[in-house]
Structure 1
Amino acid sequence: MKMQAFAFGTTNWDEVERTEHPGETGTAYWRTQFFGNEPNQIRVRMVEYTPGYLADHWCRKGHILFCIEGELETMLEDGREFVLKAGMSYQVGDNAEQHQSKTTTGAKLFIVD
């Protein structure tokens, strides 16, 4: 991620349009903002997963992810599993390790990629 110059700004996440993204089970709700210009645009999201959510794909995109509420389970392609609770984060680079997310209880996340 390269953060090229863009103006200072604030975001009221309650005012950002919420979009629905069905998982294999459950639903993800995203509030998404983009900063900077292509090809180095940064996507910043507030994401909520419903209880029982399982992503419908294995992701190769790099992220910095912070768990605000709930609990998120992340599986890596090599079989390792990690649990994030509120106040924890993870980071992974593009094409570094495929990962898939799920939650039993639901989770609210802040994600930069």
Structure 2
Amino acid sequence: MNLPDTPFTTLDWNAIPSEEYPGTTGTSRWRSFSSGDLRVRMVDYGPGYLADHWCDRGHVLHVISGELVVELADGREIPISQGSSFCVSNHGDAAHRVRTSQGCSVFIVD
């Protein structure tokens, strides 16, 4: 990962307002920090959430609580549970999207 020039920064996630993003079903709430091409997010996916798009952007995603399923455009489905992570590069293995039946909280760097 090549991080852009960014001064030392601390993030108080509780002080960052969240924004709601609807999915195909359900909603997500993001708290975000950006610096150049770097984006760091705390995301809460509500129960029944399904992303509204296939994504080709690279991510490092860590599940803080709950569980989600990563759907890959080639048909694979990978469950990711609390305490686990996944990584994918820009235009990497396969376009992907997430869904969760019960909801979950994640930390994402992209």
One-letter amino acid of the structure 1 residue matched with residue 24 of structure 2: E
> 1:3 maps to what in 2?
3
Partner AA of 1:34 in structure 2? S
Is 2:38 the counterpart of 1:42?
yes
Residue in 2 that maps onto 1:109: 106
TM-score (normalizing by structure 1): 0.92
Deviation sequence 1:70-95 (CA, Å, 0-9, x none): 00101101111111111000000011
Q: Which residue of 1 aligns with 2:62?
A: 66
Q: Return the TM-score normalized by structure 2.
A: 0.95
Does residue 99 of the first structure (1) align with residue 96 of the second (2)? yes
Question: How many aligned positions are there?
Answer: 109
What secondary structure, in the 3-state scheme, does the structure 1 residue paired with 2:14 have? Answer: helix
Q: Tell me which residue corresponds to 1:29.
A: 29
Give, in angstroms, the shift of residue 18 of structure 1.
Answer: 0.4
Root-mean-square deviation (CA), in Å? 0.9
Q: In 2, Cα distance between the equivalents of 1:101 and 1:62?
A: 14
Using the TM superposition, give the Cα deviation of residue 5 of structure 1 relative to its aligned residue in structure 2, in angstroms: 2.8
**Structure 1 runs of 4+ with >3 Å offset:** none
Match of 2:10, SS state, is coil
Provide the secondary structure at the position in 2 that maps to 1:25. Answer: coil
Provide structure 2 residue ranges, at least 5 long, that are not aligned to the other structure.
Answer: none
Q: Give deviations 1:5-39, integer Å, cap 9, x for gaps.
A: 3211211101111001000000010000012x3xx
Gaps of 5+ in 1: none
Identical pairs, percent:
45
